[in-house]
Every structure is written in C-alpha cells, then in structure tokens.
Amino acid sequence: MTHQITFLLPTLLLVLLAASVIDASQEAQLIKFMESRAMKRLFRNKPSSNGPSEADPWADPSSFSHLLTLSMSPPESTKEADRIAALPGQPRGVNFAQFAGYVTVDEKHGRELFYYFVESPYAASSKPLILWLNGVANVIFLESPAGVGFSYSMNTSDYDDVGDQRTAEDTYVFLVNWFNRFPEYKGRDFYIAGESYGGHYVPQIATIINFVNHAFNETPFNLRGIFVGNPLLDDFRNDEGNLEFLWSHGVISDEVWAKILANCTFTSSDDWPCFVAAHSFQRGNIDRYNIYAPVCLHSQDGTSRSSSYLPGYDPCIDDYVPRYLNNPDVKKALHARADINWSNCTLELAWSDAPVSMVPTIKRLVKNGLSVWIYSGDMDSICSLTATRYSVKDLNLTVTHKWRPWYTPDSEVGGYVQQYEGGFTLASVRGAGHLVPSFQPKRSLVLLYSFLKGMLPPADVPKIKRTTPALHANASEEARFREFVRSKRSRTISSSNAYSEQELEAKFNRRLKAEYSASEQSNLKAVDKITPDGVGFNQYGGYVTVDKKNGRALFYYFVEATTDAAAKPLLLWLNGGPGCSSVGYGAMIELGPFRINSDNKTLSRNEYAWNNVANVLFLESPAGVGFSYSNTSLDYDKSGDQRTADDSYIFLINWIERFPEYKGRAFYISGESYAGHYAPQLAATILTHNINSKRAVINLQGILVGNPSLDVFKNLKGQIDYLWSHGVISDEVHDNITKNCKFSSSDGKACSDAMDAYDSGNTNPYDIYGPVCITAPDGKFYPSCYVPGYDPCSNYYIHAYLNNPMVQKAFHARLTTWLGCKNLPWKDAPVSMVPTLKWLMEHGLPVWLYSGDLDSVCPLTATRYSISDLGLAVTEPWRPWTANRAVGGYVQQYTGGLVLISVRGSGHQVPYFQPEKALIVVSSFLRGALPP
C-alpha cells in the first residue's frame, strides 16, 4: 500500500497540515489510500462478530516519552540564509517576507523536511501564522513526511517506514528546530490547521505538543487551538457518509443505495457483498472533491481547458504547478535541492500505521481545553459534510449554540455553524469543495478570522442586506410556489383529493364545449404577427378567447423554430406558481429566444433557446396571470387545477384553428414546478378527448416537466431530507422533524413547528448555492456574486420591460400592469399527481421528468420519492449523461416510458441556470432518445 499527502504547516499562530498545491493526483492519492485500507479490512481475518473496538494508539502519552529527551543541536542554517529575495514571476508590490529551506529531523538518517514560510504583510511581529491567506497571520508550508515534495531522506529505507506516528514526531522535531531558527516566534499564539488527512495529522501533533507542554514548564509551543477542513476522521463513518452524500446529491440511484443499505453495516464485519454494492455505480467524469466544479479536459494535441467557467477556479492548475516548481530558477529561489524532481504526490511511500478513528483523540483534546474547530466544504464527496457530522455525533457533546447561517461581508451566507460544549465548533462552507480556500477563498478567510479571534462567524451583516422589492415580492414564480405550498401545509388536506385511477378517466371523460368557429380564427394569425421581422424566425402574440360569455381570454407568445419550422414539432411551455407568467419567466429568462438585459430596455439572443429544436408556444394560464384576463372578476375566484386544464384545452383547440398548419403536427407539453400538475392534467384532458373522438384532435406525443410538484407530502419529506443532506438544517432539527412528522394528512402543529424551526439564511431556496439579489442602502441592487449567465436581479428587468407600453403594444397585449405571478384563490389541487402519471403511461404517453439538483423546493429527492410510488421497473439503470465532455447529470428509464433526468449544478429553473444542458434534455426528449 502506498500513501502520501503533501501538507502545509503554518506555524506560530497556525500550523496548517494540508495539500501544498491543488492537484488531481493528490486528491486521487487520498482515495487510493482509503480504498487500500478498505481492501485490507476486506481480506484480513475478521472476527465472527463486530469484535472489540480498535485500541487507541494515541491514548497513552508514554509512547512519546523519547521526545522529552530530544537533544537539539544548534540551527544548521539561519533565518537570513533562508530568506527569499523574490520568486520568479511573482507580481510586483510583494510586501511581505518569504523564507524557504530545510530543517533536519533525523541527523543519523539524513532526514530533512522542506518548508516555505511567508510572514504577514501587516504587523507580522504581533500576528501568529496561517496558511493560504496573507494578512491574518504568518504562514509556514511544510512538506511532510520525508519523500514528499522537496523533503527527502538520505536513507531510502525511511520511505518504507512511514505512518501517522512518524509523521507527527518528525513534525514535532521540525517545529522545535524551526523555533530555534526563528526564535522571535517562541511563545507566540500557535495554532495547527489542515484539511483532508490533516484530520489525522493535526490532532496527533496537537496531542504530542499537549503532552510535552504538560511535562515541561517552558516550551516554545503556546498551542491555542486546531482548525481542520473536510477531515478524514473515521474510516467507517467516512464510507457511510460519502455513499449517503452521493445518493442524496443524485450521483447514485435509489436502487444502488438500497443495495448498499442491505449489504453494508459500515463496521469491520462488512464483507465482499458490501464492497460490490458500494462500487456498483458510475459517477462519470466529475471531480469527486467538488461534484459541481468544472473538470480539466485534455486534448490529443496536449492542450487542456476547463469544461466550464467558474470564477476564481481553474481545474487545469495541476498542469502548471509541477512545471513551475521544477524550474531550476524556482528551485534556486526556494533554496531547494536541484536534484529533486518535485511532484505533488509520492507513490512509493508505504504507510504503516493509521487509526481507524480519530474521534477519541479529538475528544481528549476538547476535554483538555483546546479549541477545536472543524469546517467542511459542502460539495466534497470524499470527506463529506455528511461523514463529518456522523463523527461529530460520536463525540456526544452537548450543543451550546444551535446551527445557524453565518455571513460574509458581502451579505452572502458563507455556510452554517454550530458550537458544542468545550468550545468544539462545526462549520460548513457553502459552495466549497474539499480544498475550501481554493474554491471559496473569501468565505474561508472569514471563517479562519473568526477561529483566530475565538468567536463564531457573523450571524448577520446589517449594513447591506437582501431585500425583495414590493414590485415582485409576491410576483416571482419562486415566491408564489413557496406561498402556495405553505398555505396547503396550514390546512388539513383530505386524502380523498387524490384521484383514483378509475376516477381519473371519468374526471376527464366529459366533452368541453369548444368556444370557437373557424371563421373567427381564420384572419387572426396575421393580426398576431409581431413585426418587424429580422430575427430569423416568426413571432406571434395575442389572445385566444376561452369563454365568450364571461369574456375570459388567455394570452400567448409563439416563436417558430429558427430553421425548418414546417418540419419541427410544436412544444407548449407552462410555468407554474400556480399563477405565474410563462411569458415573463419561461420566454424572457429561461428558454425563449431572447433574454432581457439589465438596462430594462433591450434584448439579447439566447444561444440555447428551445426554438432551435421546436416551435415553442408560451401560454399564460389561468386567466388573471400575466396578460391573460377575464371581464368577469368572479372568474378569478374559481381558479384551480380543473379550470386551468379546461381553459388550456379550449385555448389549444382555438389556437390550432388560428394556425391550421399545426393540425396533426407532433405536439408536446412541457413546463416546470407547478406544471407538475398542469402538464399531466392537460395531457389527460387531451387524451380523453382524443379517445372519445376516436381521432387525434391534438397529436400529443409526450410531456416533459422540470423540478415538478407531484405530491404534497412527498415534496415536504423530500425538502426536509434534501435540506439536511445539503447542510442547511442540523441533525437535531432533522431528528425533531422525523419524530413529529409522518408526512401525511394526520400531521398537526407539532410537525409544522418542527419544520419551521430552522433558519436557511440569505439564500435562494431554488438554487441553494446561487447568488442572491442585494439591495444596498441607497436603493441600488446587484448580484451578491457573479455566475456566468445568471442574474438573480432579473425580476427587476422583467417587470420594467413587460410594463413598457411599447413592449405591450408590440406583443398585442392589453395595456395593463403586468405581474410575474398573481395570488389567485386556488379551489382544487389533488394531493398527488402520481395516479394521473400512471394513467398517462398506461395509455402509452411518454413522461419525462427532469430535475435541477440544486433546487430545495421541488428537489430531486422529492421527485425520486414520487417515482418510487409509481412502482415501475427500471429498464435503463442510472448513468451519467454528457454535456461538453463533462457530466451533465444522470438519467434512468423505467417501464411505461418514464424517464428521470437530473441536471447537475442547476436550480429550479433549469433552462435559466443551465441553458446548454436544458437544450440537450429537450432535444433528447423530442427525439425519444436518452441523452448521450
């Protein structure tokens, strides 16, 4: 077995044991190490039962007694000899001192560890030392053990006798000698920090230092605390947590997860069936250390590029670092040996000892009064937040400050934090992978600063806050759906509201009176055409009457395909809410041909518009939504699922008369969110009328719904499980909800109170990692951070643009005050759409559901629960699908034509958050072929 971790050691205030560079092979090394340990456990002789727990090798301090008699020779080098004049290629204006060189830790064997040390640019004499971030502390980066990076031994047998204890002892000796070289740091506040396998290194070194400090009155170590990120703390807890993380984040299927739970106990008794189950899935080309990050793509010509753009992060950095550090001029500047070929990871080290669990060691450190902070980037699947929580739970500490959001100065939620007795602190870092300072440098700095100050990170940022303007506070699709769900939670819903399969056909088996005549429609197409031309496709906008008596009319916006429109299918798009605009949201910020610019006046082309592959019809339904209206105001009080389906059907019959060239054309229904009701209900209405007419009045070929609301109770359960698994709610809150909620109509106030007992903070629940719109004290608004192609302030632009009289005139809309969503009284809505979906599939209709996996309101978890209720067999197992040579998401097919697709890295409005991936999904759907 081989093992190596290049780790960074900040001294004086902080010793950071971590990877000195970001490197794919370094990441792979930890995976290889953990898997090799798993294989050893698998093939060794195991006890018949779980057997006794592993002896704690760090419990007896006498094993370190030889360090007390350590004789320190005078420094073999001097501080000034190690001073770096300048590194090749460094930017101008570097205002801090840098040092690098070797410290001997074993004279007999000639074992020397290499370090790189940077002092703080400001008041270095009064600050401690920290890794990654200048300005907070002085920082030493240590390459350990010998054989890693520039560190070496003259006795090559040392590389065959490496392990946790040797690493800890050598690091201790290094520190003692380093303090002699830099005596001004003796007695300075000193912290140890690290990440990953630093979950072993850091507590172990702290244990040795504590032992030495108790043995002597005076030592150079004024150890104040330890700070460890995404730590490997317990082999079994890590295995369990990581696999659960992969299931809850949509990487492995329900079926694989069930197989894992059936075969694995996550103890030493696990055997071959568990190993097979835990390796029976494809994750595809994703970065396991940040499952949502871009990956580095290598071409045959030797060039490389990132699969997508993520501000501040380059996945191809591994290609640059070795070339730089092996440059002879760089080695000379660093005072490194010229004959060493630097690499991020050393494969030849044989790792001899590593305890299964570090929990007992950490518990002793907390008991001895040491400040212990653990933080976790919540996108890491290798040392996941889920796994860390399991190990923290094993500490059995009492909570003193409950799980809450913490904030950065730019008013973003940096993560969540909870404190326990003894000062033990667990913090998550939102949107970060394994190497938190690389993925989220600003957030990691806030957290580190709080650790050094001995205070929890900020609970709020009062000067700049997120506010939702009145003009769309209740008008956004997201806010409307959230309000609708809450209203349904607040009242008891009879299970009889869910239609049985037999009732469904009777429900839709009534002929709607078609409110049209051919003569009334024949001349309206030309009137509805939007002019002038010049965009390369035809556009139309106008009204179709669905109830003459009451004067009820629905507004539509229609864009023909950019090429070969006559041969392409017709696709209807329905936004949800219920009561939200398909024109404002679907057409103008999601899948339409244009996006509204931030000047509120101009449009830009959407490269990934769905009219690249279909003729797309956007319908504002029911009456009262967007530009749709009724001359009888009482109509608005009769809104509900049934009225919406009936009116939409009448609309389509009339619309096809207006556009007769689409009669018989392949027709598809698509939508998102509450369209999980609209689309299946309209489809059932169409199929029923086709059956009764014994002809295809409308040639319906399938439905496609994104992040659908399918079942009230399954959606609530899915939300709660999603929020826990993604680190938004605490173990304690989740346990209380599980205790008080059955997720059925019998749930009462205790359940409601339990579900309301958390604070998600200033985040967008429809994309929990996305930026939010910030309103400054001067009234200006701006995104909290930049994400390519997405602007959380777009509701401002939509509202201003669609209320422009010139725009309304161009659309052939009535001059009115347009709102994105209207809070209509909703009279009927079945608890579950599962029976309807089942009925549709029994009648041969393909049903495709897709889910952006960052949405917490209609999450992938909830959709999976509803699909499980369908009781369908899998025909094509869960697998990754590809977009731009990276994983676009995962897909699975079932009997009856049901397809479930996840869209990786997308929120609720998939065509907005991930337009290229959304276009791949709809193209595959229209072709009737699973995505590549």
**Contacts of the segment 437-442: beta carbons below 8 A, 24+ positions apart:** 437/132, 437/133, 438/22, 438/313, 439/290, 439/293, 439/313, 439/377, 439/379, 440/377, 440/414, 441/132, 441/133, 441/312, 442/408, 442/410
Distance, in Å, from the CA atom of 744 to the CA atom of 282, rounded to the nearest integer, reads: 35
Amino acid, single-letter form, for residue 750: A
Sign of dihedral through CA atoms 51, 56, 62, 65?
positive
Amino acid, single-letter form, for residue 306: S
Chain centroid to CA 30: 22
Distance, in Å, from the CA atom of 351 to the CA atom of 130, rounded to the nearest integer, reads: 28
Taking a C-beta distance cutoff of 8 angstroms, is the pair 796, 803 a contact? no
User: Of 577, 509, 495, 483, which Cα lies nearest the Cα of 830?
Assistant: 495
- Report in angstroms the alpha-carbon separations of 853 from 473, 718, 761, 767: 25, 12, 20, 9
Q: Angle formed by the axes of helices 731-740 and 712-725, to 10°?
A: 160
Amino acid, single-letter form, for residue 276: V
Taking a C-beta distance cutoff of 8 angstroms, is the pair 670, 922 a contact? yes
Residue identified by tokens 């890693």 is 148
Distance, in Å, from the CA atom of 677 to the CA atom of 642, rounded to the nearest integer, reads: 10
DSSP 746: T
Q: β-pairing, 413-420 with 399-407?
A: antiparallel
Element (H, E) at 753: helix 749-755
Burial pattern 324-363, b for ≥16 Cβ within 10 A else e, equals ebeeeebbebbbbeeeeebbbbbeebebeebbbbbbbbbb
Distance, in Å, from the CA atom of 19 to the CA atom of 317, rounded to the nearest integer, reads: 14
> 445: which 2 tokens?
């700095």
User: Of 827, 826, 824, which Cα lies nearest the Cα of 629?
Assistant: 824
If you write DSSP's letter for every residue of 310-337 in order, what string do you get? BTTB-TTGGGTHHHHHTSHHHHHHHT--
Tell me the HSE value of 104 on the side-chain side, using a 13 A CA sphere.
14
Distance, in Å, from the CA atom of 395 to the CA atom of 359, rounded to the nearest integer, reads: 6
Distance, in Å, from the CA atom of 500 to the CA atom of 834, rounded to the nearest integer, reads: 10
Residue identified by tokens 């950095």 is 317
- By annotation, the residues acting in catalysis are 673, 855, 908
Q: β-pairing, 552-559 with 615-620?
A: antiparallel
**Contacts of the segment 584-587: beta carbons below 8 A, 24+ positions apart:** 584/626, 584/798, 584/802, 584/818, 584/820, 585/477, 585/798, 585/820, 585/909, 586/618, 586/671, 586/911, 587/557, 587/559, 587/618
With a CB cutoff of 8 Å and minimum separation 6, the contacts of 346 are 4, 147, 148, 159
User: Of 866, 923, 927, 856, which Cα lies nearest the Cα of 900?
Assistant: 866
The three-state secondary structure class of 639 is coil
Distance, in Å, from the CA atom of 377 to the CA atom of 375, rounded to the nearest integer, reads: 7
Distance, in Å, from the CA atom of 96 to the CA atom of 278, rounded to the nearest integer, reads: 49
Helix, strand and coil in the chain, % to nearest 5: 35, 20, 45
Distance, in Å, from the CA atom of 272 to the CA atom of 252, rounded to the nearest integer, reads: 19
- Report in angstroms the alpha-carbon separations of 668 from 422, 683, 703, 704: 60, 9, 6, 8
